[in-house]
Chain A
């Protein structure tokens, strides 16, 4: 009790801080120029005046500065005709824009670039040497489309998308305990069955019962915060739904109105009132729960009671005191005026409002687009500014329309709706577009602003999961793990990032508070792991065996590394060994120069040379990036 009371003191102090009127005295830049007075800020986030906006040292995409996301402002508008053909409507929107603005695209990627990219994107790992060889020698037409179809039908794709939704929904053991496993299996099932996404969302928003039994009940349970009161939890449930399903980030507006805070960040949010957030929170106000600590983890059992709305009079919690215009706030959808039926089946109504909203479809396809194209049409994809979406009704200067391609976003969203919210269909459209299949190398002078045109493939470092799974695949020693959900082999199947072991240094994010950095960043620890890890990596490039854990109750099995398998085959020439290592690791054949260099290592000592070459290939930048 004492602790709670003290906490209240801390919170009320924070309110005082928040309530203080403070005017920044104006900031002089390096050149001595006095810039505009900043606005009063009562939150430690300072708005930045337009003239001062410069990139941070680690920003990789200049095209993403917050005001100038509109394309065409910085390039000479000399229309060009692109050399690439078009495969579906995505190409029409992207290539039309490039042609109109005079931005040339790179050419289509080669078959080896494509197979590696599409495998990593759709399965989370690189293809085997055999897959690559077969694909490269295939001369039938449409082989790329058929490969996409094959991968979309694979179990690996199901696991890969399960990981995607686990991250999107922040399915984390620290919040959900064993619920995380039930939730994981629920997600995997809906991905496997490719259930219409709006149905899934409706289940997530309306679930009740025991989080250890009922998977979707975990969606709302992940909004629980240790220091929260009931009103905070309702707020967090609404905020979570807004972010994940609508792509809007109204967390800020749950503590204070948008005015005097967000003018320089998000025009739409700047006009929002705290009470509007409560209107969304009120949809959850009939929820009640019991929470039970079991072995250091918490299980939640939800029930639903009849409620008339959200109580603003609740004390404590971690947000500034609520002072509503009325003590009880009725549910009101933040993006519309839909009437609430007198049955007061609030959450079901919210689920209907959200899934019928075009913004739901836009947000969802944009999350997917970001995943496969490297940059969102709106980026970051959880930060839509709804006042900056309509090119026919542009926002005031210095703002520009937020999406790089508003028409494409609308078209993808319509397609998603028309397909009965078929996630796999959207991914298929993206993967089969020629825009997705552009090469990473660009002929001519590349400019950062071209990134938002998607004028070439945007290279990405492998994620920690892709790193784990690709090294496992390249060395042909796939590890085993006995998790609570059962026996798994691939990192896409992990229920928590802790299982990644040494690959944790590649910053997977913790699914709760810390998102994975975007784009991923390098570090010395990562390189040390890649070069020197003596547990996972180095044993896998040795001429030897590695012990692999089997399902519980069965003894471990020793597996030969690829290096050992190749060396054991007396019929293999050095040249063939080199080919195999390149195919298995880089998904391509070596070029002549590479082969010559590698041969020089294998000739004097075949065993050492083979081991050394495999180590080198796993450390090559074109293994680590795709």
Chain B
């Protein structure tokens, strides 16, 4: 598909709009420039970004290493033997994964592509996280104006909005984002939701005596008192007119049973919230405390609940096209296996944290996979790209004194950006594959898994990037999957610097398809 902005696309915006005035200034062409000749895939409609804050240990998760494969006698163990047993290392659809941890995800390895030759740009949390938000480096001169990729997706998806698409394009679930829509309009700001099983009642209801009827009375009086300010040619200028359009948008969400249903979920024994929460296992690390689900918190937990609401949002298809969920706790400098005697239920251990990730995303994937998509023969999973990316990897066994059995002296791992992973699930990619390979400990990238000529070692205009897969390449691929031209440029930013979704031409598409 050759993707190209043109005037017609912009004019379409108006017809599909629920926000009257705010879009008219978007329609004045050409505001956003695409570049001819960029081919994008467009296999996905929605993006769910799972941000693993702190930096997940790649060699215990998506670039899983095993003691059995180590030939280096000076560092013979990846992890202590008991810790190894609790991983459940096995191969699923051709991908080696920790089966006891990823007990749900393992069933969807056929829909997953894991990039194992990703070399991150930074070992500092705040800078690495900034890369995840924007796909760009932290430059203090204009860091604050760069939008999160979710805001860019919302901006791009705005052209396709249908009447009835009442939800914001970008939704943030149970997470914080320091950098949000940057210089982009509040139209594309993340709608920040703290989930509750009761839904968004306290946010989307009018908490006054008389409830909805009272609200309608007030609303009508408001409209009646300032028809000229909220009319088609408002005298207070663009800013006020835009603000008025946010009133319309908010009203459309309030007392909307469809919207309320999206944010509501059941809790208690056997509920969905419980299904999305990590189970407790017996000391063997394998057997659930009772039956699957029953050992989990019946009221769920924040990450699982966020995944559950994300599923509802995608299923409902009411205008939300990008979802951001952060799962923290990955900065495991100590006790990564739960201490000297590995405890598979230790909240800070890779086992429990990994199972939280798995319960949330694994069930999300399973549910989307069961649901037909908007096109015949495709499921919602095929139309939704799930990206799992952290700050960086964690230091492999090869860097530690062997007497600690693969970890640092505090039984944890430190920061390691030279080998890190990114997992893609769904979104119409060609799953069941890994791209790239690292050495026996996960120390160095040994196979890159792609061969862009301009990136061969010692050649090309950008030797610093090397042939490794860079964060820009990942973001290029995400944009491509969503049918968004990664070379799109937005000009006249507050800093007067052009904003390019993925700057520099030599970054390109990772072979996910």
Q: Which residue of B lies closest to A613 (CB)?
A: B221
Q: Digitize A1-41: 1 where CB-to-B-CB distance is under 8 Å, 0 elsewhere.
A: 01100110110011111111111110111101000000000
Question: Within 8 Å of chain A (Cβ to Cβ): is B379?
Answer: no
With contacts A13-B464, A44-B504 taken as known, whether A513 is within 8 angstroms of B140 at the C-beta atoms is yes
A20-B461, A538-B208 known; A521+B185 contact, CB < 8 A: yes
Q: Are A527 and B33 in contact (CB under 8 A)?
A: no
Q: Are A45 and B415 in contact (CB under 8 A)?
A: no
Contacts A459-B236, A621-B243 aside, 8 further interface pairs with beta carbons under 8 A come to: A10-B124, A15-B464, A30-B29, A46-B503, A56-B493, A459-B239, A510-B178, A524-B186
Nearest A residue to B36 by beta-carbon distance? A28
Interface size class of A (residues with CB under 8 A): 35 or more
Complex contact A616–B124 (CB within 8 A) = no
- In the bound complex, residues from chain B placing their C-beta under 8 Å from that of A380 are 494
**Is residue B301 contacting chain A, with contact meaning CB distance below 8 A?**
no
Interface stretch, picked from B88-96, B223-231, B334-342, is B223-231
- Minimal Cβ-Cβ distance residue in A for B193: A525
CB distance from B84 to the nearest CB of A (A): 24
Cβ-neighbour of B236 out of A19, A43, A616, A625 (below 8 A): A625
Binds B, one of A47-55, A119-127, A179-187: A47-55
Whether B221 and A616, one on each chain, are in contact in the complex, defined by CB atoms closer than 8 angstroms, is yes
Cβ contacts under 8 Å, B230 to chain A? 621
Among listed A57-65, A304-312, A331-339, A342-350, interface-contacting one: A57-65
B144 CB within 8 Å of chain A:
yes
**Min distance, Cβ B398 to any Cβ of chain A, angstroms:** 14
User: Which residues of chain A are within 8 angstroms of B124 by Cβ–Cβ distance?
Assistant: 7, 10, 227
B31 on the A face (CB < 8 A): yes
Task: Kindly state whether residue B267 has any CB partner on chain A within 8 Å.
Answer: no
B498/A538 in contact, CB under 8 A: no
Segment with Cβ contacts to A, from B244-252, B289-297, B364-372, B424-432: B244-252
Q: Judge whether B497 and A532 touch: CB under 8 Å.
A: no
Contact indicator B221/A59 (Cβ below 8 Å): no
**Chain B, 388-429, contact with A by CB distance < 8 Å: what is the 0/1 string?**
000000010000000000000000001111100000000000
The residues of A that contact B184 with a CB separation of less than 8 Å are 57-58
Q: Which A residues lie within 8 Å of B25 (CB)?
A: 57
| Residues on the B chain within 8 Å of A519, using CB | 239
Measured CA separation A528–B475 after assembly (Å): 32
Q: Is B316 an interface residue (CB 8 A)?
A: no
Q: A46-B503, A621-B229 are in contact. Are A518 and B494 (CB under 8 A)?
A: yes
| A532 engages B205 (CB within 8 Å) | yes
- B192, B226, B461: the one contacting A525 at CB < 8 Å is B192
Q: Smallest CB-CB separation from A5: which chain B residue?
A: B123
Shortest Cβ distance from A484 into chain B, in angstroms? 24
CB distance from A135 to the nearest CB of B (A): 23
Taking a contact as CB atoms under 8 Å apart, the answer to whether A594 and B236 are in contact is no
Chain B contact residues, CB within 8 Å of chain A? 4-7, 25-26, 29-37, 121-124, 126-127, 136-137, 139-144, 155, 168, 178-179, 183-187, 189, 191-192, 202-208, 210, 214-215, 217-218, 221-222, 224-226, 229-230, 234-240, 242-247, 249-250, 253-254, 395, 414-418, 461-465, 489-500, 503-506
Instruction: Give Cα A97–Cα B333 distance, bound, in whole angstroms.
Output: 64
In the assembled complex, how far is the CB of residue B66 from the closest CB belonging to chain A, in whole angstroms? Answer: 25
Most buried by B among A6, A522, A611: A522
CB–CB B142/A45 < 8 A: yes
A407 CB within 8 Å of chain B: no
Q: By the criterion CB–CB under 8 Å, are B464 and A620 in contact?
A: no
Instruction: Find residues 287-314 in chain A having any chain B CB closer than 8 Å to their own CB.
Output: none
CA distance A20 to B494 in the complex (A): 27
The verdict on A249 contacting chain B, using a C-beta distance below 8 Å, is: yes
B121 touches A14 (CB 8 A): yes
| Bound form: Cα–Cα A597–B189 in Å | 35
Collect the chain B residues with CB atoms within 8 Å of residue A59's CB. Answer: 492
**Complex-state Cα separation, A441 to B464, whole angstroms:** 55
Residue of A nearest to B223 (CB): A616
Q: Is A155 part of the contact surface with B, judged by Cβ < 8 Å?
A: no
B490 touches A527 (CB 8 A): no
Complex: A29 Cα to B418 Cα, angstroms: 37
B496 touches A265 (CB 8 A): yes
B247 touches A527 (CB 8 A): yes
User: Is A603 part of the binding interface, using a Cβ–Cβ cutoff of 8 Å?
Assistant: no
Are A48 and B491 in touch, CB under 8 angstroms?
Answer: yes
Chain B residues with CB under 8 A of A527: 243, 246-247, 249-250
Instruction: Judge whether A440 is part of the interface by a CB distance below 8 angstroms.
Output: yes
Report how far A90 CA is from B464 CA in the complex, Å: 54
Q: Given A54-B491, A57-B26, A526-B186, A514 and B225 touching (CB < 8 A)?
A: no
Alpha-carbon gap, A101 to B189, bound state (A): 40
Within 8 Å by CB of A524, from B31, B191, B490, lies B191
Chain B residues closer than 8 Å to A594, beta-carbon distance: 225
CB atoms of B204 and A528 under 8 A apart? yes
Q: Complex formed: what's the CA distance from A59 to B25 in Å?
A: 9
14 CB < 8 A contacts A-B:
A6-B123, A19-B464, A22-B506, A24-B505, A44-B503, A46-B503, A59-B492, A60-B239, A227-B124, A526-B186, A527-B250, A621-B229, A621-B240, A621-B243
B-side binding surface: helix, strand, loop or mixed? loop
With a cutoff of 8 Å between Cβ atoms, the chain A residues found around residue B126 in the complex are: 226
Interchain CB contact under 8 A, A6 and B496: no
A22 in contact with B461 (CB, 8 Å): yes
Q: Which residue of A lies closest to B245 (CB)?
A: A522
- Check A3–B123 contact: CB distance below 8 A: yes
Instruction: Compute how far the CA of A538 lies from the CA of B236 in the bound complex, rounded to whole angstroms.
Output: 26
> What distance in Å separates the Cβ of A202 from its nearest Cβ neighbour in chain B?
27
Interface assignment of A461: CB less than 8 Å from any CB of chain B = yes
Q: Are A60 and B238 in contact (CB under 8 A)?
A: yes
Is the Cβ of A532 less than 8 Å from the Cβ of B464?
no
Q: Does A612 contact B (CB under 8 A)?
A: yes
Report Cα–Cα, A613/B217, bound state, in Å. 10
Inside 8 A of A136's CB, which chain B residues have their CB?
none
Give the residue of B33, B187, B217, B490 whose beta carbon is less than 8 angstroms from that of A29.
Answer: B33
Q: How far is the CA of A399 from the CA of B461 in the complex (A)?
A: 31
A528 and B123 contact, Cβ closer than 8 Å, known pairs A58-B183, A620-B226 = no
Q: Which of A60, A252, A528 meets B203, CB within 8 Å? A: A528
Whether the Cβ atoms of A17 and B464 lie closer than 8 Å is: yes
4 closest cross-chain pairs (CB), A and B = A16-B464, A523-B186, A534-B207, A17-B464
Contacts A7-B123, A526-B246, A528-B250; is A57 near B31 (CB within 8 Å)?
yes
CB distance from A542 to the nearest CB of B (A): 8
From A59, which residue of chain B is reached at the shortest CB distance? B492
**With a CB–CB cut-off of 8 A, which chain B residues contact A556?**
none
- Asked whether any CB of chain B lies closer than 8 Å to the CB of A619, the reply is yes
Q: Shortest distance in angstroms between A550's beta carbon and chain B's nearest beta carbon?
A: 26
Chain A nearest CB, measured from B442 CB (Å)? 15
Contact A55-B31, Cβ < 8 Å, known A514-B178, A521-B185 = yes
Q: Name which residue of chain B comes closest to A30, CB basis.
A: B30
B496 CB contact (under 8 Å) in A18, A66, A620 = A66
Q: Is the CB of B35 within 8 A of A265?
A: no
Is B492 a contact of A65 with CB atoms below 8 Å?
yes
Which residues in chain A, 63-115, are within 8 Å of chain B measured between CB atoms? Answer: 65-66
Q: A10-B124, A251-B140, A601-B221 are in contact. Are A538 and B463 (CB under 8 A)?
A: no
B33 pairs with A30, CB closer than 8 A: yes
CA distance A609 to B195 in the complex (A): 34
CA distance A520 to B462 in the complex (A): 38
In the bound complex, CA of A16 to CA of B506 (Å): 15
> Across the interface, which residues of A come within 8 angstroms of B465, CB to CB?
17, 20
Among B218, B240, B242, B463, point to the contact of A16 (Cβ < 8 A): B463
Q: Complex Cα distance A65/B126, Å?
A: 32
Report whether A441 and B5 are in contact in the complex, using a CB–CB cutoff of 8 Å.
no
Q: Check: A622 CB closer than 8 A to any chain B CB.
A: yes
- Complex formed: what's the CA distance from A59 to B208 in Å? 37
Q: Is the CB of B246 within 8 A of A524?
A: yes
A598 / chain B contacts, CB cutoff of 8 Å? 221, 225
- B417 A10 Cβ-Cβ under 8 A: yes
Q: Most chain-B Cβ atoms within 10 A of its Cβ — which of A21, A521, A621?
A: A621
Write out the residue numbers on chain B whose beta carbons fall within 8 Å of the beta carbon of A16.
463-464
